[in-house]
Chains A and B, each alone.
Chain A
């Protein structure tokens, strides 16, 4: 199975990546090259095998931990906003989304 230029556009949109025309073609070639080796994986019979998400779950029961829903972090708004491209009055600025 091969990807088409339409697939590349769809995936780039889902991934929020602006791909200029000439890069789109290169991306298509590269991804199709890669999915060539992925086909060997698809051919394996995995019926009845449980997917493994946490590697240690291969040998023990792994539970996702939950902590109490209480604020534990001090207020660090200023420190956290120091890296933001655009802030004003303690708010992150984005282009207008509601007219």
Chain B
């Protein structure tokens, strides 16, 4: 193998493992060493060498015996939103400090069944609420392209770790953009599948009608490999799991793009869009045209409305989901209290960070008597209108493309005093989330200050294969996805 182990993709590592050019234990040790060396990035919240090496030895045994699954021995790491038996799970919150799940989440066990070796748990915004990873109770993760910048969020640790070559791929979750935006900020490929494709069992719930798991890696091919293993029905454990069989998304990768109609929503190119981001997106669209695709101007007229709609619906669901943290069955419990009610209140005030408390307050308010119709129900009606807008747009195009975020990664602390700034920056990812559509981020070059820019691709329901196909073709014509930040 020519390139260093940590510069190899998942596909390359899987092939090298099968050819016995490298062992799973060697790989695990190599990446664990890098994780330790780059601990300053704050990407990992937990590692356990003994657990990881045991998994690696088991993978090596399967590879020696023959008949090992495709990804046997390839290392990965999980966002700390997925519960794991062998590692602590905190969701980035003090509420769950030291929590040990009695079971593995569905996605974690599916990838373990593929023989993948877990390197540990990745930092994220508390309960996945945030766009910068600064809402983690355990400190921010940093962007490997510039440690003074945020990696994005909420899957910020996942993005930082993959970009810094501390792990070849990671899981993330996306509620309003939490896979796509950090992938964009860190120059990675990430995909959020159609709502209901991947089981939510064991994913600590934030907003249940929006939460979806997905992979983050360097290439579209790697995302296809991982996503194929992550999806599939789970009707007994996830009430909203789709009854759609798992697919091998790698089969779709090589399709030609001739005649593909790419819808470009004019609302995604408004005032707030940084010029460097706009230039990179334009160049990526031009590249796709060279590959045979054709640009079609479309409109998603309620793009701006997606912000209030999302920030009413998601906190409403969060306030309900987070009611379970009461200091009784698991998690933090306050030391001093007068009675049961006081125990609940103090436990929750101590365990939850500022942003989580704000969202619980917002959610409680919009669901409360007298306000439900005006806020929550109104938001759900607009949610349907936003979903219908997409269906109208898809009559004229096959995929939709635009920026993931209006800017490149901002400086740590830049939005600190103004949570609204975070909300407004989610404008391009929220519409697809509300509609439950698959969306991805593909490296499209570099914008302001030489920082990565992601091209967002949005497909119609269950069209993940097509998105990965477009991304893969783009990656065969460009090399942005292979660039590494200096020093990594």
Contacts and interface: CB of A to CB of B under 8 A. Distances in A.
Given A42-B378, A52-B383, A97 B340 contact: yes
B1 interface: no
6 smallest CB-CB distances across A and B, nearest first, come from A55-B436, A51-B380, A85-B333, A58-B387, A52-B384, A83-B330
Contact of B305 (A41, A55, A83): A41
Contact of B385 (A46, A79, A85, A92): A46
Q: In terms of DSSP, what is the predominant structure of the interface of chain B?
A: helix
A14 interface: yes
Nearest to B342: A18
Contacts of B99: 83
Interface string B98-113: 0110100000000000
Interface of B: 99-100, 102, 194-196, 209-210, 235-236, 239-240, 242, 304-305, 307-309, 311-312, 319, 323, 326-333, 337, 339-346, 348-349, 352, 357-358, 360-362, 364-365, 368, 374-375, 377-385, 387-388, 391, 419-420, 423, 434-437, 461
Given A49-B382, A50-B381, A95-B339, 16 more contacts: A15-B361, A17-B349, A38-B311, A38-B312, A38-B375, A51-B380, A52-B381, A55-B387, A55-B437, A56-B195, A58-B391, A58-B435, A65-B235, A72-B236, A81-B329, A85-B331
Contact of B420 (A34, A85, A97): A34
A89 interface: no
Interface of A: 3, 7-8, 11-12, 14-20, 27, 30-31, 33-34, 37-38, 40-42, 44, 46, 49-56, 58-59, 64-65, 67, 72, 76, 79-86, 92, 94-97
Contacts of A85: 327-328, 330-333
Contacts of B194: 56
A49 B368 CA distance: 22
Contacts of B309: 41
Contact of B328 (A17, A37, A53, A92): A92
Contacts of A79: 102
